[in-house]
Structure 1
Amino acid sequence: MADGCSTDTGEAAYRSRDAVKNLTIKIHIQRFTSTAALSQHLQQQVLTQQERGGIELDTLNSQAQSDGDDEEELVVGWQEKLFSQDSQSMVRQVKSNPTFLAHRMANVRHRRQDRQPVDSTFPKSRLITWEPSEDFVKTSHVVNTPVQTMHIMGDMGPLGKLGQKEKECLLCTIRADGNGVITIKPDFNKGKEPYRVETEGEKREVWRLTLENVSEGIRPEEKEREQRMYKDLYVRHKDYLNSLVGQDFEMPPPGILRLLVNGEIDSAKGFEYDNLYVHFFLELPHNWSTLPFHSLSGVTQTCRTKTIGKDDVAFFSYPFSFEAFFRREDETEESLPQWPVLYFKVLSLDFWQRYRNEGYGYLVIPSTRGKHTITCHTWRPLQTGTVSELRRFFIGGSPELEDYSYVRVPGTFKGERLSRFGFRTQTTGSVTFNLHCIQHARAFVDASTLKKRRQSVLDQLGGFSQQGSVYNVLEAFQRARRRMQEARESLPRDLINTTAQQNSESNA
């Protein structure tokens, strides 16, 4: 008989900028049991017979009065207190007891008075509550949004027998927090089938429940006034932010290039041991400087590796940033300046706090602006003999460099040729960097307005474009040369001799 009722009684959340006190809900309940259906059928027969003159009017009135308890409609406001219809008779009787619904309504007012005060006699050493209660979590949590709750209950008993606990049902629950979120369970019908409500007890009855939002909408003049208020608020906030930032764009002094690098140590792979961490520092060449309080070194966190394909990869995602300034002392100098170099060292740490050197590497900061993803290969010093490898495996430690810049060209080197003859190394893994480079100079702005010939290397081609192109050509040449050497090493010896002989014959 209740197949047409809606079974989706889940809660729904609404967001409103209006005050929750303006919420109004219309509740309509109708008895939907076999007796109610029979009474409706009898009423239709009575109306038919009345038209024929077979039944008097008193019979119809009595039937209508008996069916008056099967349907009721009520409009409820936010936190509106409504009592049962037997409240008047309960007041007249001297020894009458309050109903369950009236008792629940009375306890709502004194709910805050039942809270026990916090005992301040606990020692300060007991700062952790190992078994917190639900109320303690709600009141002591850092993010605690106040929530108001409203319950709408219905007494489904017949007239004269109201107040029975098994006939009282929870029709609707509404919650509203301070952020303007209103949660209602069950949701408004919105044209759907009514909800089904069953009473408890021996004689179960089925009711159909319909919920409708009948709150008064905002008037056009109030809506327009609210929009003007929000628009004025946004304009004031925008002006406040502009006052903090200012209108003048910060420019470096003339003849100075400002370099900002926001980088990230992304990952490392191909190393022998697990639990890796990276120690790095930035070397500033001649004519480069930075602010005194800026740190040019750092250490990442220790990271465990994860097997991806054939490699063990450690994902650091460690961010770093620095700011440097370049200024040429001699404007007549024609040589290209050197760019900052990032030196790094990869180490491993095991369970027994033994660390091992896994590899050294370096990275030249790109001379062009934008995003760059660079993978740097590493190596470590290798000591001959098996004793060194046994020491590395059992007690940790390995040969290290006193000067990290020896990975590339030491800063203290003043000669013409740097010889590493006899220095044994072993290739280890690689480290990937993500760099976001920003170049800031007054010459970039003046490049489109000045017509005169620029006298210094800093002003030529808007700063360091010439140097960047030279570096790119040199790096491409070095890569092509390495590929050619690798290709020659992979060929057989007899083929190389035959090719060399042919070349000599063709030259003759």
Structure 2
Amino acid sequence: MSLEAQDYLPMSRTIRYRTEDPIQNLRIKLVMRSQEGNDTESRWIMKERHFAWQEKVFGPTEFDKYKTLAAEIASGKVKKKGLTPLEERYAQQIEHVAAGEAMFTYVDADSFEDVTEFVSNVTTSPFEKPTPLAERMMKVQEKRGRHTELSEPFKMMYIVAQVKGRVDVTVRSEEGEGPTYIMQEEVLCAIRVYSDGTIDMTPGFSPKPPIKVDPMKGGAYKTTSEQGVPYRLETESGCVYEYWLENATEPADASEVAAAHAKEVRFQQELFDKTQELRRNFVGDEFEPYSDQPELDARKVMINCEIVSAQGFDWDHVYVQYLIDVPEGWATGDAPQLWGNSQVSRVRHKRDERGKADLEAVANFSMPVELTLWECAKDEQAKGKENREGEGKEGKGGARRVPCMLLQVNSYDQWDRQRVLGYGHMNLPLSPGFTDQAVMTWRPALSQVGKMRSFFIGGTPELRDLTFAGLPTGLQGPLSRYGFSSESSGSVRVRSHCVVQGPKPPQPKDGRHAREALKSSAQAVADATHSGRQGREATLVRARKQRDEEKMAEKRSESHASRTRNR
């Protein structure tokens, strides 16, 4: 079975199982294969072994350690009083072991700790660096041990394999022999068992291989592979190992299986009911049901905005003022908050990957703005004809306006000097979803005297009507700012979440209208293609006719010139 690197199962996935059987009945079958060389043509070596729960299998390192300890105890160099009960027990067991195995285990009584358990990245970036607080917390967890990581007591077991690590450069290999590797231990599976029968495996059991049905042989089926998709381990030296984890526990009686299945179904139902109850308690019952009555037929738009930050402005101690401009055809709730100010924020400079400060200055606000709007459907229907007529007369000026947010960015320093740094506007989102916009701003241009006055005593020209930053109220026709001198300023970042509540769009009961629309669109495309082809043919005919006329004119001029010379 040939697989790409992205087709293998991730070794970091944790799967949770539940069982009613005694955990002592758990049996895990490990099938592992490796290549003799680093090239793709090398043959694979297959190994397999069964492990029971808390079964101690000595690896090469532990075998050498406890074999030496047993010999020292026998010779009298080491006394048993100075040993722990675990060391004494392992020294007795090692006498019945011939050699250490390449696939072995660490049980709960061992002092083995997997360092990867304490590495908990919170982002997907490969360059993530833990903060000093996170580093100190990891050290505290390492000192206290793995049993304090969770509140529930559990027991651990690791299935480990000794694999080829990096090449040992201190050993010179002879001609015809391969390189010498430094052997290292790699955790293939970590098993955590809780007192309630819950089992967490990292990674979990390998999925069963897919089945391929052959209809030509009467529906006979066969597996597409022997073990299915494996886990893949690649060391620093490039050696590749593939392995599978299978559940080799002996099946229980049919009655026990049925009872366990019924209990599992009951447990899942209780968990589902509890989740639904928590969701209802969290959501609450304060939602307003939508009314389908014609007199209340209006679309409700709920918008949650956040004025995140402002960047690119020249001064420090920045704050933002906002005003919600609600045009005709829209209504607001009772006592709406249509304007407000943010807090004064000091400017911070961005830092690049090397930690150096950038020239771009950013002032953070995180100012929330909540708004509820109703689109008046009756007013829209009443003014629909007027708007359509206005579009023909006034062009874009007759188009229907939408609510917008007007922004004014100011600065305020310790000498009570205030300056207007920029104006901007953005149309509020009226479709459900999330938007993240950067609102570009502008400000009135200052003369040289005005710049000096603003620098020393503060104060800048301000708009008398803030709606001039967007579309002024009562605008008829296109907006013209001719003669108004301005200059570009910074930008304001605004994030918005929108929820729309309204009637469902009318849908045909059958697909007749859809088919007619599709037929008409297809006919329109065909007509356009036909007309385009005819237009191209007509153009070619005109070009040929013009070229022939030019040739005839050249011939007539040449004949006239020749007659003149003969005379």
Bin for the TM-score computed over the shorter chain:
0.3 to 0.5
> Which one scores higher on RCO, CA 8 angstroms, separation ≥ 6?
1
- Based on CA coordinates, which of the two structures has the bigger radius of gyration? 1
What TM-score does the superposition give when structure 1 sets the normalisation length? 0.44
What TM-score does the superposition give when structure 2 sets the normalisation length? 0.40
